[in-house]
Amino acid sequence: MNIHHPALNSRRRSGFTLLEMVIVLGIIAMILGGAIFSMNKIGNSAKLSQVESDFKSCESALAMYKLNAGSYPTTQQGLKSLVEKPSSTPVPRRWIQIMKKVPLDPWGMEYGYRFPGKKQPSEFEMFSKGPDGQEGTPDDLSSQDD
């Protein structure tokens, strides 16, 4: 006599098989991977926005420096001239501290500065070496880029 008790059958069927668990975990892993990939893109976008913001704030500070000193700082004087009075030629007759400190780029490096700029020699140029930290590579960012 083979009697099947309904409670025993439903108990056996109520659990998940190993294959079902692996499939569900695989789907969750794919979703998480896509989310992490998307977050990385958002993070890069935020860093690019920070560079543009830093360029704008330093541009305002450099305009004030030029108003007081008569010209932009030289490449050698650099952005430090916004924080400390330059001692190299040309030493500005009228100088005030415009910034408490020069910001670092989002990758923790100092912004580069040159006057005259590469593309527009009559203007200064600020630049970031980008994520790779090396100048002259495609990921570099310049205040003279369009």
Which CATH number fits the domain that encloses residue 75?
3.30.700.10
Q: In this structure, is residue 4 part of a structural domain?
A: no
Structural domain boundaries, residue 68: 53-146
Q: Is 16 a domain residue? A: no
Q: What pLDDT digit, counting tens, does each position of 20-47 carry?
A: 888 888 888 888 777 776 666 666 788 8
For every residue of 10-64, DSSP letters joined together read HHHHSSPPHHHHHHHHHHHHHHHHHHHHHHHHHHHHHHHHHHHHHHHHHHHHHHH
pTM tops 0.85, yes or no: no
Number of domains in the chain: 1
